Chains A and B, each alone.
Chain A
Amino acid sequence: MDTESKALDTFPKYLLHSAEIYAQRPAMRHKNYGVWQSWSWADLLDEIRCYSIGLQQLGVQPGSRVALVGGNRPRLYWTFAAVQALGAVPVPVYSESVAEEMQYVLEHAEASFAMCEDQEQVDKLLSMADDLPNLKHIVYDEERGLRDYDHNRLHNFSNVQQQGRDVLAADPEAAQRWLDGIAAGRGEELCVMLYTSGTTGRPKGVMLSYDNVLVSSINGNKFDNLDHTEEVLAYLPLAWVGDHIFSYGQFLTAGYCVCCPESAETIDVDRREIAPTYFFAPPRVFENLLTSIMVRMDDASSLKRKMFAYFMDVAQRSGETLLNGGKVGLADRLLYGLGNLLVYGPLRNRLGMTRLKVGYTAGEAIGPEIFSFYRSLGMNLKQLYGQTEASVYVTAQPDGEIYPDTVGTPSIDVELSIDDNGEVLYRSPGVFMGYYKNEEATRSTKTEDGWVRTGDAGFIDGNGHLRIIDRAKDVGKLNDGSMFPPKYIENKLKFFPNIKEAVAFGDGRDHSAVFINIDLVSVGNWAERNNIAYASYQELANHPDVYKTIQEHVDQVNRDLSKEELMAGAQIRRFLVLHKELDADDGELTRTQKVRRSFIAERYEPLIDALYSDRTEQYIKTEVVFEDGRRGELAATVKIGDMQIYDAAADQPQPLQASA
């Protein structure tokens, strides 16, 4: 190897490096046929080399775009490196996206090859093949059901790899040529193209260079002291930048072991078996885990329930302080130790978090209760704020400085600034090259001197931590001039388990008001336990006791808001519980379950009018679309609740445990 390739400025170079120094250490595992199968770093290099040369035989050249369509399978991860070794560019695609959206991405990226997981994805690609003249060959991993397909442009992974193996056996120079190809790679070259999910308009192709992804990965490793002993579970979509850094970038740079689950349904069991040391999840994963724990606890024997309740109290009192390295009285310390033995330990084991060194939640705001729950059990869960355009890292919470409502301090090498309109800007080595074939969007996002607009409004608090309020374009003003951040209010409400969805209104109006959707699982469970009979969502939503509970939650939010200088004016004056669940089929939510505020405002205009009048109830008729496409009408009289407003007590936000 010459000195150039030792520079380690591309992922294929890191692969060679790791295969040399970690040779027989496990690099990847996959649960297949009920058993964890593993590959050492040396195996991995061999697999990827043969596959890569096989792809070369198919015609993959420097600059070719190779689409990756499928779930977290080893062979799809190998495709990244195999393709990059040839100087080509991998383009992971959200495999669950509808055909039309996938077609747009493949067309836009000019993908000439595709690696698919199975028949389902192959079918999807073949159905749009006529509109994708660039797409020449499709390789698939799982051959089931594909035997009788026309194999002119369709290739089994094993055959492609075998072809590479044959070339290596026949031509002694081939291996060296492949290495030379890798050595020729440069850090500033295009490494991967990640399409943003596109909640607004068409997806945009974010171009990231090796330098971007490599530096971010290495900084990420440094920040949390991650090394080759880590084990992680790869279960997030390949096309999400988080997974790309976590299961590929950090995997190759730290040399740790990535484990691929057996199937999407077995993740909970697989995580328990692997017990990852580093874990990355959007808040909904933690929410779902917590819900499943609570449901199981409700079914447990009374002794277990009492034990759980008692020790969870202890954990809430002292768990986080202990985790932050703070001081706790001897009695509590002993109780916590006992709880650890009896409750927290078994619970962590059940969750697969026994060996967790550091866990991150990112993507959206997480409920403070949920966040503290996990931390009080002794799991080092932290928040992170990132973007595809930044190769993930913008800010992250350093160990021991955990505040539930901030997203932490700037990550290594990241500069942060707040624009005049409150928008958060950053500059870092991870900043993307640009949007593919979209100069205009690149210019409006990235300034001349490398600052990127996040589109999020936020501020830096007294502790130097960043707090995100809302999307910058959504932050409005009430008529009295005070700030109105709708998502901030909605999130505060949604953190209550009884509230599934909330929609806040107030921009250009006299006060803020909200629509609320109750959570049918949680409230339904409560109704069952209290012998409250109900036939439908509508009936339950209208129940006076439900109204009372929701009113208490709204009141709590108002108290919280009143304590924050900037937000005190945005306290909720009136609320109502909607008579139907907001649904993507009716266009009220996006497919990623985000509320479409303006559409909802139009659709429920009479309700909005009522919120801003002094009426106490309002009759409304709504058209609904059922899952099978039929339409129906829903009529109801919706009650409106009035709220108390608190005086602004302008004190500084207090971290939950400021002991560190």
Chain B
Amino acid sequence: MTTTQSNSAQVSKSVISGRASAAIQPGEELLRVENVSLAFGGVKALTDISFDIKKGEVRAIIGPNGAGKSSMLNVINGFYHPQEGEVWFCGKKRRSLKPHQIAHQGIARTFQNIALFKGMSTLDNIMTGRFTHMRTNLLMQAIWRGAAEREEIENRQVAEEIIDFLEIQAIRKTPVGRLPYGLQKRVELGRALAAQPDLLLLDEPMAGMNIEEKEDMSRFILDVNDEFGTTIALIEHDMGVVMDISDRVVVLDYGKKIGDGTPTEVRSNQAVVDAYLGVAHD
């Protein structure tokens, strides 16, 4: 007896991980910043920073307020182009990028302040994350039958897998503006995942959350990393979380790198301890 078509409960899962880095093996270098310096006028945001991100790892960037973490993230995704130094992504040196090129290169991110479309539903927000994977043009989408329809079904499937993965089925059709903060953060993570990124950047994914929400978010970050093999770089202030979930940690202070290594190494690094406890700078 053959199972009928309707029996699609076992739909094969699409792989939610990027294509640009397909040739790179886990554990090899995915992104490298070399001697990067960035200044806004006279203000030096980053000074001579070098580190790498290996494929498949969870890499944290930490540091006190104003240390240059968000600037670093903006350099990594190409939004800022550093005055000095080089960024290598997937084995290629990066040039200055236009916004649409940034979107297409395979790096997705979430923001410190949630940047969702408040009036749109969770599902629609996540579908916007699929934008870079859509090939049909406006006319084809207006006619809809045929290619656009097929494409919508494919993309909806990815979006639904993400909804299932993040356990947000109950808010699928709810406008995100009505959701509590913790859930909005989760939707934003969903939208970033929908892009099937090679590298996922999370800017303070746990800011303003209570303990339970933090635990949930930590679990989702680890699950994303585990299930899809997505490389993750994150900025976070909660040291407990950082030490628990990241493989390696970069520490910035006043735009300079003061530490780099596993959580244990970083924890015992005197310069890092001083930066956090506030030793006078001469």
Contacts and interface: CB of A to CB of B under 8 A. Distances in A.
A40 B9 contact: no
A47 B6 CA distance: 13
A46 B160 contact: no
B157 interface: yes
Nearest to B167: A263
B153 to A, nearest CB: 10
Interface of A: 30, 32-35, 37-40, 42-43, 45-47, 74, 144-145, 147-148, 158, 262-263, 265-266, 269
A40 B1 CA distance: 12
A342 B165 CA distance: 40
B172 interface: yes
Nearest to A32: B9
B9 A37 contact: yes
B195 to A, nearest CB: 19
Nearest to B223: A145
B6 A33 contact: no
A33 B157 contact: yes
Interface in B1-50: 1, 3-4, 6-11
A145 B227 contact: yes
Contacts of A45: 1
Contacts of A144: 165, 223, 227
Interface in B129-166: 156-157, 160-161, 163-165
Contacts of B172: 34
Nearest to A31: B169
A263 B170 contact: yes
Contacts of A74: 9
B264 to A, nearest CB: 22
Contacts of A46: 1, 3
Contacts, number: 60
B170 A37 contact: no
27 contacts: A30-B9, A33-B164, A34-B123, A34-B156, A34-B163, A34-B172, A35-B8, A37-B7, A37-B8, A38-B6, A38-B7, A39-B7, A40-B6, A42-B1, A42-B4, A43-B6, A45-B1, A144-B165, A145-B223, A145-B226, A147-B226, A147-B227, A262-B169, A263-B167, A263-B169, A263-B170, A269-B170
A182 B26 CA distance: 50
Contact of A158 (B1, B10, B169, B173): B10
Nearest to A268: B170
Contacts of A33: 11, 157, 160-161, 163-164
Contacts of B6: 37-40, 43
Contact of B169 (A30, A42, A47, A266): A266
A74 B4 CA distance: 16
B72 to A, nearest CB: 31
A9 B170 CA distance: 40
Contacts of B164: 32-33
Contacts of A43: 3-4, 6-7
B163 A266 contact: no
A42 B6 CA distance: 12
A45 B157 CA distance: 28
B86 to A, nearest CB: 36
Contacts of A265: 169-170
List the 3 closest A-B pairs by CB distance, nearest first. Answer: A265-B170, A33-B160, A37-B9
Contacts of B3: 43, 46-47
A346 B4 CA distance: 36
A38 to B, nearest CB: 5
Interface in B57-101: none
A37 B157 CA distance: 14
A34 B155 CA distance: 13
A77 to B, nearest CB: 13
A35 B153 CA distance: 12
A74 to B, nearest CB: 7
Interface string B211-247: 0000000000001001100000000000000000000
Nearest to B222: A145
Nearest to B164: A33
Question: Taking each of B3, B123, B173, which has the highest tally of chain A beta carbons within 10 Å of its own beta carbon?
Answer: B3
Contact of A34 (B7, B8, B160, B223): B160
Given A145-B223, A145-B227, 8 more contacts: A33-B161, A33-B164, A34-B163, A38-B7, A43-B7, A148-B226, A266-B169, A269-B173
Question: Taking each of A32, A47, A148, which has the highest tally of chain B beta carbons within 10 Å of its own beta carbon?
Answer: A32
A146 B123 CA distance: 27
A360 to B, nearest CB: 26
Nearest to B163: A34
A274 to B, nearest CB: 15
Nearest to B227: A144
Nearest to B173: A269
A424 to B, nearest CB: 41
Nearest to B157: A33
Question: Taking each of B1, B10, B223, which has the highest tally of chain A beta carbons within 10 Å of its own beta carbon?
Answer: B1
A47 B4 CA distance: 11
A33 B159 CA distance: 9
Question: Taking each of B164, B223, B226, which has the highest tally of chain A beta carbons within 10 Å of its own beta carbon?
Answer: B164
A573 to B, nearest CB: 45
A266 B160 contact: no
A269 B8 CA distance: 21
A144 B7 CA distance: 21
Contacts of A38: 6-7
A43 B10 CA distance: 13
Nearest to B9: A37
A271 to B, nearest CB: 13
